[in-house]
Amino acid sequence: MTLHIKNMVCDRCIRVVHQQLENLGLRVSDITLGTAEVHPEPDEEQLGRLAPALKDLGFELISKDKDRLAERIKNIIIELVHHSNLSEPHMNIMRVIADRLNRDYAYLSRLFSENEDITIEKFIIRQKVEKIKELLQYGDLNLNEIAYKMGYSSSAHLSAQFKHITGLSPSRYRTAEKQERKPLDKI
């Protein structure tokens, strides 16, 4: 049986969910961001214990197909923004989402907006801003290098978007005493 789980955004999330499933006596045959293939099929008692156990850890079982699809869209975006090279020629996140889910992008965009109360484009921008914050904190790259890595046409475009979301310029954020970042599942 495949369980669909909301808020799995990283490898640590996978490990935590995997451990929780095993603690409930379920054998995990495959686990990825947002899904876990378990055997035997959980009975009502196990599902009754699983839902609150996951909720205590910041996760949630997803039962509706539209919710599952919205969560898959989020996971694809997080994977692309935080673990891919957005500077690759022809990297179009919207096209990648549509191709991976084998669905029309307009449909996915509408579904995502209805489920999440934010457009896919704004969600992508917010994810990019969090990644930019991380790169600014590391201090290894200058703003032009960050803009290139994140797929921006220029550092001015990156700066304008960053300031619009955070209220600070990238250079001001880099020198700020308190550099706040949001967990990926809270964006």
Tens-place pLDDT, residues 70-103:
999 999 999 999 988 787 766 789 999 999 999 9
Can you tell me the mean pLDDT for 13-37? Answer: 91
Report the run of H or E that residue 32 belongs to, with start and end: strand 27-32
Share of the chain above pLDDT 90, in %: 58
Calpha distance 22→28 (Å, rounded): 7
pTM metric for this prediction: 0.74
* Cβ(91)–Cβ(149) below 8 Å: no
Half-sphere exposure of 97 (CA within 13 A, CB side): 27
- pLDDT value of position 165: 94
In the DSSP assignment, the letter for residue 58 is T
- pLDDT value of position 126: 95
Report the run of H or E that residue 2 belongs to, with start and end: strand 2-6
Report the run of H or E that residue 20 belongs to, with start and end: helix 11-23
Name the average pLDDT for the chain.
Answer: 89
Give the confidence band of 61 by pLDDT, cuts at 50, 70, 90: confident
Instruction: Please enumerate in sequence order all residues whose Cβ is within 8 A of that of 136, keeping only pairs 6 or more positions apart, or say none.
Output: 146, 170, 173, 174, 179
- pLDDT value of position 183: 67
Calpha distance 47→42 (Å, rounded): 6
Residue pLDDT, tens place only, 110-166:
999 998 999 999 999 999 999 999 999 988 899 999 999 999 989 999 999 999 999
CA angle 180–185–187, rounded 5-degree value: 55
Closest CA to 81 of 168, 186, 184: 184
Calpha distance 70→4 (Å, rounded): 11
Calpha distance 177→61 (Å, rounded): 38
Calpha distance 4→14 (Å, rounded): 12
**Position 37 pLDDT exceeds 90:** yes
Can you tell me the mean pLDDT for 105-114? Answer: 94
Domains of the chain, with CATH numbers? 2-63 (3.30.70.100), 64-187 (1.10.10.60)
